A and B are shown apart, each in its own frame.
Chain A
């Protein structure tokens, strides 16, 4: 008789833990879906610009990230000027000194999940680093690279 009375709380405890574990997992799933929606929109844009578009690549994104473009502000010749060579590390705004949260999705799961934020940041940063707007291909590659970091 004593067994069920022990099991019941154990089960509900397990159920409670299960919920607690599931919550962040589903939040991450939501984030991944939001990120995918942004990538889908960019893919459509990239296809419209180039019918030969064949998808996004993490390698292309890494090239965007590490290239010394030196086309924009002299203080930000590359993405790494602020984000450092390691996307999982804290960065620092090279103009203002303000700390920047890591860009890597593994460290910062909310990265690239808000379309307005993503559009704003690419608009500002591409201009500052390259001196021009990024193409949809470059943006999609960049996000794809960061999603794997």
Chain B
């Protein structure tokens, strides 16, 4: 075995063992909670909790009656279930390379609510206006318009 073959084999085995979580910074742990997926997914894709810190999800769940201008309130028991899931899996609570890249832009104690305003997002989406104007895009938060596998946490297209 040449040295190259050995290191290739080692690299491959690392991929198999670690999975995408450690090997890929275009992957973030997907939403695995059914209620969160269903309720948040009612109007938009249920965004992965790793994109925001826990205090942001707390603020989000406190403010559903005016959710970016819409009344997205749901029953109190559902709100608390979803809050618990989102905060437990928030970007400052999980080990994920992609979440880490987003969290490093969040000021200490800062409570961002829009993932699309994170410099990491902006840096990855530095497009001409005509791209944003495509009819299927509608808004910057419509991940699925371009990232087919976004719901599975995979953002590696384009």
Contacts and interface: CB of A to CB of B under 8 A. Distances in A.
Nearest to A96: B44
A97 interface: yes
A73 B142 CA distance: 19
Chain B, interface SS category: loop
Nearest to A128: B70
Interface stretch (B19-27, B89-97, B99-107, B133-141): B133-141
A116 B75 CA distance: 10
A94 interface: yes
A93 interface: yes
B44 A93 contact: yes
Contacts of B70: 73, 95, 124, 128
Interface in B22-48: 41-45
Contact of A127 (B45, B71, B75, B137): B71
A98 interface: yes
A92 B138 contact: yes
Interface string A86-125: 0000001111111000000000000000001000100110
A97 B139 contact: yes
A94 B142 CA distance: 11
Contact of A96 (B43, B71, B74): B43
B138 A95 contact: yes
Contacts of A92: 138
A96 B43 CA distance: 7
A94 B138 contact: yes
Given A73-B69, A97-B145, A120 B74 contact: yes
Interface string B116-158: 0000000000000000000011110110110000000000000
A96 B138 contact: yes
A98 B69 contact: no
Interface string A59-71: 0000000000000
Contacts of A120: 42, 74
B72 interface: yes
Nearest to B140: A97
Chain B CB count within 10 A is highest, among A93, A98, A116, for A98
B45 A98 contact: yes
B2 to A, nearest CB: 50
Interface of A: 73, 92-98, 116, 120, 123-124, 127-128
